[in-house]
Chain A
Amino acid sequence: MNFIGIDIGSTAAKTIVFDGTRIISSFILPTGWSSKETAGQIRTHLRTAGFDVDSDDTRTIATGYGRISVEYADKILTEISCHGKGGSALLAGDGVIIDVGGQDTKIITVENGVAVRFLMNDKCSAGTGKFIEIMANRMGVDINELFALAQKGNPITISSMCTVFAESEVISQIGAGKSREDITAGIVESVVSRVALLASRHEKPDKYFLTGGLSLNPYFAKRLSQKLGQAVYTCEMGQYAGALGAALLAAEKLQ
């Protein structure tokens, strides 16, 4: 029996196939404008790799913001349960999972391997991956370049709570001739502060674990750990935490 976890986020769709003991396949596709179409692409992709989601021999759980579009899933669960599960598997234990996603940021406290408390940022996209994306666009760089620049800078202060206003603050700083390094450092700093503030509303754990797209960026994790005053762990599979959790929960609940 194979257990498939599909996590359709706002920018990337992650899929994991788990055979009960090992991860036997994983892939990422960009989420297009329609999550329904993305779900279809994942199905095709899986079929090519030899996994048939319709067979009696597979169980599928979908999660993420596009979860309801995965019509062939046997069950849908929220990102919270899946990130909690997957994050704790990657972390090998309990702790607080910080997931900075494209659309929202989640703080999940995991006890005994399951999510027990969570917080999400409110409506606004400040403090999410989206904010960095918008700002990178504004600066005419991609996200990796933005982080590379930021490491060399001395952060300016961005005080606005709202992405729209923060964007105009950035524009006026560009106009004022501030260096690209300082501005990008300020952008990263503003996300780090906001994420840290959200995380500080949960009790301080032994371990923080950063998942989601931004976990791939060591500089971000480093700044976050400085802000929180505690080690922030990341791992290569960090982006797959939700999909992995979904696959593991499928193995647990849908045998």
Chain B
Amino acid sequence: MLKLPENFQDYSEARQQGFIKLKELKERGKKVVGIFCTYTPTEMVLAAGAVPVGLCGMSDEPIPAAEKFLPKNLCPLIKSSYGFAVSDTCPYFYFSDMILAETTCDGKKKMYEMMNELKYTHVMQLPPGRSGSTALHSWYDEMLRLKEVLEQQLETVITEDDLRNAIRLKNRERKATLDFFEIGRLKPSPVSGYEISTIMDSNSFIFDTEEKIAILEERTAQLKKDYQENFAGKPSRPRILITGCPSGGVRDKIIRQIEELGADMVAFENCSGPRAQKDLVAEDKDPYLALAEKYLRINCSVMSPNPERIEALGEMLDEYSVDGVIEIILQACHTFAIESYRVRKFVTEEKGLPYMALETDYSQTDTGQINTRISAFLEIID
């Protein structure tokens, strides 16, 4: 049973609606930058007067097209993203004036080299770790280089004022997003994790940041009221936290199932979750440095070492009163698959909570097995 609002719009509806809006924006001369990852400093795109749009592949459909060029044994997110581009079936890719990407995991960065043959792709050189002596410096240089690239490609000028405004605007969006996520801390949770996950991914198709903020604030207020009126003091279902790889592509297969099988999905410790929202960009210093610092702090498994992820996870387990952790590992994602060793140890030994990893891809072939595992996990929590 899912608690969805009456006017709930699923991801594919939101994605479709976005097409028309984006087309209008393009016709009015707006520039569009396609992005894939939480490491992308979207403030720079906004400061360049362009709109960022997420192109992260969440569907199974374009994978066969991608497998003509990419190895089969590759993360479905990478195959799906490339498949949309190469088969020319994603209007957002089509409308993008350029692609902005980063050297995150090996699969992605090598895929971007191929994507560059389809459309100009600027790949920022993200350092492989935060602790290296040159990490911050080189990432800062990458910010400066990005300014030049955007100015050239989009035929514009980025002023420091524009950038400061964009930083303030995005910080406000982060706060609104975080407040929305934190509804999940209420017990029993008045919101479906399916809705949280859908809104976060669909938000990428709303091109006006002010509008995004307004939508989030409105929904948060509604949910708070709903909690007071209908949930407070009632018993709670088991509370699950999702961690690991991006979960948008397995939203129906895993997130929906967890809730239908009797638990509440209350928190996401992955790249669409609060971890990146909590941490704002400093507003009182060199904006390029502030951006470099903030985006280097993101604790994705592509960073080595990455103890900050465990710290953030620990905080979330407490704040969201979590009863069990399910980690999503997309097939062939090495960084998360390896880091799951540490996550499992931390969750089970230090936090004393049940943990389960689900390795899966975007296909429907393992739905039965996934269901059995989730059911068994919930029976154990019970």
Contacts and interface: CB of A to CB of B under 8 A. Distances in A.
Contacts of A65: 368, 372
A74 B103 CA distance: 54
A123 B372 CA distance: 13
B359 A122 contact: yes
B379 A78 contact: yes
A7 interface: no
A78 B369 contact: no
Q: Interface majority SS on A: helix, strand, loop or mixed?
A: mixed
B222 interface: no
B368 A118 contact: no
A143 to B, nearest CB: 24
Q: Interface majority SS on B: helix, strand, loop or mixed?
A: helix
Contacts of B359: 122
Nearest to A106: B376
Contacts, number: 35
Contacts of A254: none
Interface in A110-128: 114-118, 120, 122-123
Interface in B311-367: 354, 359, 365-366
Given A120-B373, A122-B359, A77 B365 contact: no
A118 B324 CA distance: 14
B365 A118 contact: no
Given A115-B380, A116-B380, A122-B359, A78 B365 contact: no
A169 to B, nearest CB: 19
B366 A81 contact: no
Interface in B255-292: none
B376 A123 contact: no
Contacts of B368: 65
A116 B324 CA distance: 12
Nearest to A104: B369
B257 to A, nearest CB: 13
A72 B373 CA distance: 23
B44 to A, nearest CB: 41
Contacts of A81: 376, 379-380
A99 interface: no
Contacts of A123: 365-366, 369
B366 A78 contact: no
A79 interface: yes
Contact of B375 (A78, A114, A117): A78
Contacts of B354: 116-117
Interface string A77-118: 111110000000000000000000000100000000011111
Contacts of A116: 354, 380
A79 B372 CA distance: 8
A24 B58 CA distance: 52
A100 B20 CA distance: 53
A24 to B, nearest CB: 26
B379 A80 contact: yes
B219 to A, nearest CB: 35
A187 B306 CA distance: 42
Interface centre among B372, B373, B375, B376 (most CB of A within 10 A): B376
Contacts of A118: 376, 380
Contact of A80 (B365, B366, B369, B376): B376
Nearest to A108: B376
A79 B376 contact: yes
A169 B217 CA distance: 61
Contacts of B380: 80-81, 114-118
16 contacts: A65-B368, A65-B372, A77-B379, A78-B372, A78-B376, A79-B376, A80-B376, A80-B380, A81-B376, A81-B380, A104-B369, A115-B379, A116-B354, A120-B369, A122-B359, A123-B366
| Top-3 shortest CB links A-B | A80-B376, A78-B376, A81-B379
Interface of A: 65, 77-81, 104, 114-118, 120, 122-123
